C-alpha cells in the first residue's frame, strides 16, 4: 500500500507574489509517484534589512517516519534534532527546479538553469585564477591495453596534484576521455591508487573487492578504449596532511604495515574538521576545492593530443559520485556523466542519515537553502546523465532516491531531452560492481 505525504511551501516577497512548490513522497514498496500541491498559510516571519522586508513562510515539518522514508531514520542530534528540522523548514528551496518552474510561469528551463548554476558557483567560492598546468610525467608503464603515466600538474597557484593519465591502445586516437573520481570512504592515505594500477597495499585489495568487484576502475575504462585522468582528492593520498597530530613529516603509505596504516589513517581523519575550518577561513569550501581540481582535470585532458576534446565524460562512486554531480552541473566541457551512489533529497537525508553519508565535501552554507540535491543533475541538461542508486544502499533512504529521480526526469523533459537522463536502480549495496560498470560503459559508448 502506497503512503503519500506532501511537503508544501510558499514564500511571499514584496513583489514576487506567491510561490508554491512540493517535495516528498514515499512508498513501502519503493514506488515513486508525482505529488500535488496546495496552498497553506502557517505563520510567517520577517527577514529584514534596510532595503527589503521579506516574508518567509516555513514549510511544514512532517515527521519522517520509517513508513515515509522507507527505512528507519538514523539522524539524531538529541534535544537539538527537532530545532534542526524546524530550521530547515524555513529554507525556501526557491531555486529547486520544480518549485521555480511553478512560481515562474512562462519562463523556460534555460533561465532556471542559468540562475541555479550562478547560485551554486557563488556558494562554492571557487573562482580559479589563471594557472600554467606545468604538467610532468613521473613514470610510464605500458600494458597490452593502455599506457599509464603517473603525472603531476598545477590546479591553482597553491595546489599541485598527483594522479594518473591513461592512453588507450588498439583504438583510433584522439580517443574519448573520462575523468574518473575515487570514493570518499576507504583508506584516506590512498586516493587515485584505489582505482589505478596494481594494488599498492593489501588494504587496496580489500577495498576493491568491496566496491568494484576487484577491478581498478581507471585501468578498466582505459582497456575499453577511453583516455582517463584521475587525481588524489584534497586530504587524500599524497595530499593528506603530514607533520601534525602525530603524523610524521614524511612517509610512504605503500610501505606501512597494517597497524601503522590504520593508526595514520585515524589520525588523518581526525584532521577533517580542521581542514574544513582552514578552507573556510581561507575563503574557500571543500566542495569548491574539489570542483576546481576536477575542472582542471578537463584542462589537462585538453592538453593531451591523445584526447578528443569534444567527447569527455566523468564518473565516480560515493564521494566521487558527489563530485561527478558537481562536474555535471557546472563543467560545460563534460558531455556525459555516470553518478554512482550519491543521490537523495535534502529533507529526507536530514532526517535519515547525515552522520554516515554527508561528508565535509557537501558542506555549502547558503546553497542548500535554495537548491536541492537533485538540482545538481537537473541543471546539467542537455548533457547525458545517468544516476545509479542501489536499492540496498544503506546511505540514502528510498524516499530520497525515488523523489530525486522523479524531479530529475521532469527537469530533463522540461529541457526537451528526456532521453538524456537515466536512473538505474539495481538490487545492490553501495558499490560500482561489474554490473554497474557494464551499464555505465554502455551509457558512455552511446553518448561519447
Structural domain containing residue 84 = 7-124
In a domain, 43, yes or no: yes
Q: Say yes or no: 188 and 330 in one domain.
A: yes
What is the 3-state secondary structure of 296-329? HHHHHHHCCCCEEEEEEEEEEECHHHHHHHHHHH
Helix (H, G, I), strand (E, B) or coil at 423: strand
Contacts of 103 (CB under 8 A, 6+ apart): 16, 18, 19, 20, 21, 94
Q: Say yes or no: 153 and 79 in one domain.
A: no
Q: What is the pLDDT of residue 405?
A: 98
Rg of the chain, C-alpha, whole Å: 22
| Helical spans, DSSP H, in 93-163 | 97-103, 109-124
Q: Say yes or no: 185 and 327 in one domain.
A: yes
Under 8 Å between Cβ of 268 and 239 = no
Stretch 130-153: mean pLDDT: 97
Between the CA of residue 250 and those of 77, 100, 258, what are the distances in Å?
A: 38, 51, 18
Say what percent of the chain tops pLDDT 90: 76
Between the CA of residue 382 and those of 11, 14, 72, 294, 332, what are the distances in Å?
A: 30, 34, 36, 20, 10
Q: How many domains does the chain have?
A: 2
Specify the CATH number for the domain of residue 188. Answer: 3.40.50.1820
In a domain, 365, yes or no: no
In a domain, 379, yes or no: no
Among 136-145, 211-220, 359-368, the least confident range = 359-368
Contacts of 91 (CB under 8 A, 6+ apart): 59, 368, 369, 370
pLDDT band for position 51 (50/70/90)? very low
In a domain, 363, yes or no: no
Q: What is the DSSP letter of 435?
A: H
Q: Say yes or no: 56 and 171 in one domain.
A: no
Q: Say yes or no: 115 and 222 in one domain.
A: no
Which set of grid coordinates corresponds to residue 347? 529533507
CB atoms under 10 Å from CB of 164, counted, come to 25
Stretch 298-318: mean pLDDT: 98
Which strands sit side by side in the sheet containing 160-168, from one edge to the other? 136-142, 146-154, 160-168, 227-231, 175-181, 307-317, 336-340, 384-388, 421-424
Under 8 Å between Cβ of 389 and 17 = no
Q: What is the pLDDT of residue 54?
A: 53
Under 8 Å between Cβ of 355 and 407 = no
Q: Say yes or no: 144 and 264 in one domain.
A: yes
Note the pLDDT tens digit of each residue in 237-295: 999 999 999 999 999 999 999 999 999 999 999 999 999 999 999 999 999 999 999 99
Gap between the Cα atoms of 157 and 437, Å rounded: 36
Which set of grid coordinates corresponds to residue 396? 540514502
Residue 195: φ, ψ to 5°? -115, 10
Q: Say yes or no: 188 and 311 in one domain.
A: yes
Stretch 61-85: mean pLDDT: 86
In a domain, 401, yes or no: no
pLDDT(142) > 50 = yes
Amino acid at each position: 500500500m502506497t503512503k503519500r505525504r506532501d511537503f508544501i511551501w510558499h514564500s511571499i516577497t514584496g513583489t514576487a507574489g506567491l510561490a508554491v512548490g512540493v517535495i516528498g513522497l514515499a512508498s513501502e514498496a519503493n514506488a515513486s509517484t508525482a505529488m500535488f500541491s496546495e496552498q497553506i498559510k502557517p505563520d510567517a516571519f520577517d527577514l529584514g534589512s534596510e532595503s527589503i522586508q521579506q516574508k518567509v513562510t516555513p514549510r511544514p515539518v512532517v515527521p519522517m517516519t520509517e513508513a515515509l522514508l522507507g527505512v528507519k531514520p538514523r539522524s539524531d542530534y538529541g534535544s537539538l534534532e527537532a530545532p534542526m528540522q524546524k530550521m530547515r523548514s524555513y529554507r525556501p528551496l526557491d531555486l529547486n527546479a520544480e518549485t521555480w518552474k511553478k512560481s515562474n510561469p512562462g519562463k523556460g528551463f534555460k533561465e532556471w538553469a542559468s540562475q541555479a548554476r550562478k547560485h551554486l558557483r557563488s556558494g562554492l567560492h571557487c573562482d580559479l585564477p589563471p594557472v600554467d598546468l606545468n604538467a610532468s610525467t613521473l613514470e610510464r608503464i605500458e600494458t597490452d591495453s593502455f599506457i599509464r603515466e603517473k603525472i603531476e600538474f598545477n590546479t591553482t597557484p597553491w595546489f599541485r596534484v598527483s594522479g594518473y593519465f591513461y592512453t588507450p591502445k588498439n583504438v583510433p586516437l584522439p580517443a574519448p576521455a573520462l575523468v574518473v573520481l575515487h570514493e570518499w570512504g576507504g583508506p584516506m592515505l590512498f586516493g587515485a591508487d584505489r582505482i589505478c594500477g596494481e594494488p599498492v597495499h593489501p588494504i587496496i585489495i580489500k577495498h576493491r573487492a568491496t566496491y568494484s568487484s576487484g577491478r581498478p576502475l581507471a585501468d578498466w575504462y582505459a582497456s575499453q578504449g577511453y583516455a582517463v585522468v584521475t587525481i588524489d582528492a584534497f586530504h587524500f593520498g599524497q595530499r593528506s596532511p603530514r607533520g601534525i597530530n602525530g603524523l610524521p613529516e614524511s612517509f610512504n603509505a605503500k610501505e606501512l604495515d597494517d597497524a601503522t596504516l590504520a593508526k595514520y589513517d585515524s589520525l588523518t581523519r581526525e584532521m577533517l574538521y580542521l581542514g574544513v575550518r582552514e578552507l573556510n577561513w581561507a575563503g574557500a569550501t571543500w566542495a569548491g576545492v574539489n570542483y576546481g581540481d576536477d575542472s582542471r582535470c578537463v584542462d589537462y585532458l585538453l592538453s593531451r593530443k591523445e584526447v578528443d576534446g569534444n567527447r569527455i565524460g566523468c564518473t565516480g562512486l560515493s564521494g566521487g559520485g558527489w563530485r561527478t554531480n558537481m562536474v555535471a552541473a557546472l563543467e560545460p566541457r563534460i558531455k556525459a556523466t555516470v553518478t554512482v551512489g550519491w543521490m537523495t533529497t535534502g529533507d529526507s537525508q536530514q532526517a535519515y542519515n547525515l552522520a554516515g553519508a554527508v561528508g565535509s565535501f557537501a558542506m555549502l552554507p547558503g546553497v542548500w537553502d535554495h537548491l536541492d540535491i537533485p538540482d545538481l543533475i537537473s541543471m546539467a541538461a542537455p548533457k547525458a546523465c545517468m544516476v545509479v542508486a542501489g536499492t540496498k544502499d544503506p546511505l540514502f533512504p528510498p524516499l530520497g532516491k525515488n523523489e530525486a529521480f522523479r524531479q530529475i526526469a521532469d527537469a530533463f523533459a522540461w529541457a526537451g531531452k528526456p532521453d538524456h537522463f537515466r536512473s538505474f536502480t539495481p538490487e545492490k549495496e553501495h558499490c560500482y560492481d561489474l554490473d554497474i560498470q557494464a551499464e555505465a560503459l554502455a551509457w558512455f559508448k552511446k553518448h561519447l
